Amino acid sequence: MKCVFVTVGTTSFDDLIACVSAPDSLQKIESLGYNRLILQIGRGTVVPEPFSTESFTLDVYRYKDSLKEDIQKADLVISHAGAGSCLETLEKGKPLVVVINEKLMNNHQLELAKQLHKEGHLFYCTCRYARD
């Protein structure tokens, strides 16, 4: 079973959750051979309906004491650009795509993502460009 784990940390990042749970995104994820998507949605107001079919499962939760288990099980992690989430994922050696929240002013997250990308650790994008 191949799994994608999406985390927004303790914040909310509705654009990311809406983007990744849209039907065309789910179709794309499944077509890439993944059959499970776990969404950690934090304080978000976008709350996708969990479902399970023969070929695909969507799980959704707000918080857990630790994300270690979900990161460990994941074959791919898609994360907001919080330092904690990025570093925890990279420590586990998991492929990481960081999505920059453009609605945050003073975007230190972009600087972190750019630096880690330059060092060859991850890929990054925004919700806008993830859709194109």
**Span 69-121, pLDDT tens digits:** 999 999 999 999 888 899 999 999 999 999 988 887 666 778 888 888 999 99
**pLDDT number for residue 132:** 41
**Span 8-27, pLDDT tens digits:** 998 899 999 999 999 999 99
What phi, psi does 111 have (nearest 5°)?
-60, -45
* Other residues' Cβ atoms within 10 Å of the Cβ of residue 16: 25
CATH of the domain at 73: 3.40.50.2000
Number of domains in the chain: 1
In a domain, 131, yes or no: no
In a domain, 98, yes or no: yes
In a domain, 65, yes or no: yes
In a domain, 83, yes or no: yes
Is-above-0.95 flag for pTM?
no
